[in-house]
Each structure stands twice: as C-alpha cells, then as structure tokens.
Amino acid sequence: MSDLRSINPSNGDIVGVYPQLSEQELNQLIAEVNSEFDLWRRIPIKDRCKYFKYLAEAIQIRKDEFARLMALEMGKPLFQGIGELDKCAWVCDYYADNGEKFLADQTIKTDASDSYVSFQPLGVILAVMPWNFPFWQVFRFAAPSMIAGNVAVLKHASNVQGCADAIEGLFIEVGIPNNTFRNLTIDSSKVDYVIENPFVKAVSLTGSTSAGKSVAQKAGSVLKKTVLELGGSDPYVVLKDADLDIAVDSCVSGRLLNSGQSCIAAKRFIVDINIQSEFEKKIINKMNKQKVGDPFLDKSTVGPMVNKAAKDELSTQVLKSIDQGAKLIYESDIPKSKTGCYHPIMVLSNVKPGMPAFDEELFGPVACIITAQDESEAISLANQTVYGLGAAVFTSDIEKGKEIANIELEAGAGFVNDFVRSDPRLPFGGVKESGYGNELSSYGILEFVNIKTVYVR
C-alpha cells in the first residue's frame, strides 16, 4: 500500500508524504466517529452552531498560513486562496446564524392533537472531496451536515492531505468533541470499502462525473443516499445587445478562477455573430493583462495546473480541436520551467460541436468561443451538452435575461450579466451529468437528515 504524496505543481518538489490507513485502522477510526454520533446529536443545536462560529474565527486567524498551504499543494494563487478561506468562514457563520431556524420543527395541522415534521441527523456521513478548492469544498459540506447533528469522515484528494490534516486540526483546535470530524488518509481505491461500512449512512461527493457514477452505483447497492456535485461545461450566452465590457470581464473572471480548474468555470462562450469580432478583440485584450506564474507572487493571476497529467490532457484536447478546425487566436506566455505544470492561457475561436473544446470539459485556462446566428441558436448550443451545472446570459434586456436564465438554460444555476459562483445563501447543485442534490442554503442542510413525521393522537 503506497503512501499518499502531495507534490508542488510549480516545481515538482515533494511537499508531504502520508502513510495510508490499513483496513483495520480505517474500521477503527470510523467506529470511533460513529461512537461520537450519539453525543454530538444531543448537543443543543444552538451550541453546535457556536462551535462553527469558533471555526469561522479560527479560519480567519490562520488564513494566510492555509493559503500558502494550498499554493504549495495544488498551485492556487495566494490571493485566491485568501478569498477561498474568507468564504469558508462565511459559510460557517451563515449556518451558525441560521441553522437553528432551518432545523426547527414544522407544525402541520391535521386531525391529530399534535402533528409536526422534525429533522433528525442520519449518523456518519462520508465526504469525498476534490483538490481544486481543498478548504471550501469541505466546509460547505461540513457546516450544514454537522450543525444538523451528523458526524463526518473526509476522504480528501490524495494530493492535498496537508490541507485535509489542517482542517481536522481546526475542529480539534476550537474544542469540537474528538472524533466528530476525522480525515481518512486513503486513496480512491478504498472509497467503496468505506461506503460499505455499516456505520456510514450517506455520501457527499464533489468531483468528476465518472467518480460520481462510481460512487452512486456503490451507494445504491447498499441503499445509501448520495449528493453529487460533478463536472460542468458552463455556457455563457452573449447576446447582440449585451454590454461587452461587462460580458468580457465576467467571462474572463469565470474562466480563469482557480487557473480554470473549477466545475463551474465559464467554459463555452456562445456569442452572437453580430458582435463576435468586437467580443474577440476585447477578450484578447483582457486575457493579455493576466499573468501565468508562481502562485506565491502577487502579480500571478493564473498558477500551474495541478499536475502534469492534467496539463497534458488539456493540451491534447486543445490540439485535437485545432486539428478539427478551431482557431487559436490568443496564447499567453508561461514561466520557462522544466518541472512546473504551467499551461498558457488560450482563446479558441470557431469552436463547434464535435470538437473536444465543445463536447468535453476543459479543466484549465482555455476559453472557447462559439458562433451563434441568433438568440435561438445560442440557447440551443448552450444546452447541447451532457452537463448542467451553471450557465449565464448577457443582455441589456434584464427581463429577457431572467427568462432565458430561468426557463431556457438547462442548469442548476442561471446567472444574468455576471459569472457563475456559489453563495452560502443560495442552493448549489446541477442537473444531467452534473449530478443531483443541493448544497448550501436551507436546502443544503436538509439533504442529510431524516425528515420525520411525528403524529400524536
């Protein structure tokens, strides 16, 4: 059983080595978490909420340290790491402020003397989380799930075990009872084994569509609930009456966040033919102001890809698309590093269905421009994907934009004149092969509870 390793994608240096748990150790750890469940669930909700207030404070105090850890392990530019940690504190505060209200019993008038709905925790919840937002993905799961009374085990991505250990340490630091939240130092081959454990009651996964299908299949075989947030190929529809400066700013921000390595990154820009030329000029000018470089340097807005395999896969998708007729209209400089996993910012035009740049998820700093003859074709092209995570539309007609975002675009989130992002106050989830279930808001806290009818004669 090989050790887990985190490798700095900027230079190839080994950041940390983490021995994997044996099956015996894994079973013991899960049993210990399960034994803590009955204590944790009986702590009053208002007191569970207080712990997450303490977590929010602890995150803010140590965010510079944790941002550096993310930069080391997966290449996130420091200023984006700070932003991610601010958001983690926000989600802890949000559920601490609202958890008691969200979980309050709901009285229902019937012919009973008393009847109501209560929300009871399930037990041990397994979180299978990705490397691209190594703190945010965990806290947006943990805050609602644990305030609801569940306990948690985390199977984090193998390359960010330093982040995973740091998160577990935070729970201990603020005084949350031992074994309420634990990190499982295992690789993906052990996920099925954990799902089969009788103490594990449900699974939350954020990751690729293939990983989601595998976890859903295993969880279904043992009748355990899943919430899946999977891949995306988010379309941004730019209509001919759009404010192009707003559209371009949003498209670039949405495409390059986390060096383009995000499920809800802007991936396909579907532009009305009447404004395409001007859009392309503006986006090239905006991209040219970005800087690919060392994530520890303030001037870097795009860091390295997470590893060489990811960089090579993206390069292959780009080259295949160019071979099929896509045009490379912009390519940035990258650091001259023999070991760093840097990929240039690119803009492809003349992208069409059938090309990898249209049909597949491009997980990196490559923008794809698709020509639409009119509004109807633009919407059709936007929906011509197996994914349905986020989508955006840009237009000066706000009412039309709202109708397109709400009714026409097949996605879990529709944005008008802005780039897609998550917000603790709003539900987050996808349709089609982008998954199912919701995180965040009042809906997210109800995913891992027993919605229980109580009827009194």
Q: What is the pLDDT of residues 72-88, one digit of tens each?
A: 999 999 999 999 999 99
Q: What is the pLDDT of residues 38-70, one digit of tens each?
A: 999 999 999 999 999 999 999 999 999 999 999
Considering its fold, how many domains does the chain have in total? 2
Q: Could you list the residue range(s) of the whole structural domain that residue 94 is in?
A: 4-230+432-456
pLDDT at residue 1, rounded to an integer: 76
CATH of the domain at 31: 3.40.605.10
The sign of the CA dihedral 158, 159, 163, 166 is positive
Active site residue 229: yes
Q: Is residue 422 assigned to a domain?
A: no
pLDDT at residue 315, rounded to an integer: 98
Q: Is residue 175 assigned to a domain?
A: yes
Q: Are 237 and 378 in contact (CB under 8 A)?
A: yes
Catalytic residue among 49, 88, 263, 368: 263
Q: What is the mean pLDDT of the chain?
A: 98
Q: What is the pLDDT of residues 207-260, one digit of tens each?
A: 999 999 999 999 999 999 999 999 999 999 999 999 999 999 999 999 999 999
- Based on the fold, state whether residues 66 and 98 are members of the same structural domain: yes
- Based on the fold, state whether residues 150 and 297 are members of the same structural domain: no
- Based on the fold, state whether residues 411 and 437 are members of the same structural domain: no
- Based on the fold, state whether residues 225 and 288 are members of the same structural domain: no
CATH of the domain at 338: 3.40.309.10
Check whether 338 has a pLDDT greater than 90.
no
pLDDT at residue 120, rounded to an integer: 98
Q: Is residue 427 assigned to a domain?
A: no
Q: Is residue 426 assigned to a domain?
A: no
- Based on the fold, state whether residues 103 and 159 are members of the same structural domain: yes
- Based on the fold, state whether residues 191 and 312 are members of the same structural domain: no
Active site residue 331: no
Q: Is residue 145 assigned to a domain?
A: yes
- Based on the fold, state whether residues 387 and 447 are members of the same structural domain: no
Q: Is residue 423 assigned to a domain?
A: no
- Based on the fold, state whether residues 409 and 389 are members of the same structural domain: yes
Q: Which residues pair with 128 in a beta bridge?
A: 155, 205
Reported as a pLDDT band with limits 50, 70 and 90, residue 71 is very high
- Based on the fold, state whether residues 224 and 255 are members of the same structural domain: no
Catalytic residue among 229, 280, 375, 408: 229
Q: Is residue 421 assigned to a domain?
A: no
Q: What is the pLDDT of residues 158-190, one digit of tens each?
A: 999 999 999 999 999 999 999 999 999 999 999
Provide mean pLDDT across the span 262-267. 97
Q: What is the pLDDT of residues 285-309, one digit of tens each?
A: 999 999 999 999 989 999 999 999 9
- Based on the fold, state whether residues 64 and 164 are members of the same structural domain: yes
Structural tokens at position 48: 């569970």
Q: What is the pLDDT of residues 403-439, one digit of tens each?
A: 999 999 999 999 999 999 999 999 999 999 999 999 9
- Based on the fold, state whether residues 163 and 134 are members of the same structural domain: yes
- Based on the fold, state whether residues 226 and 238 are members of the same structural domain: no
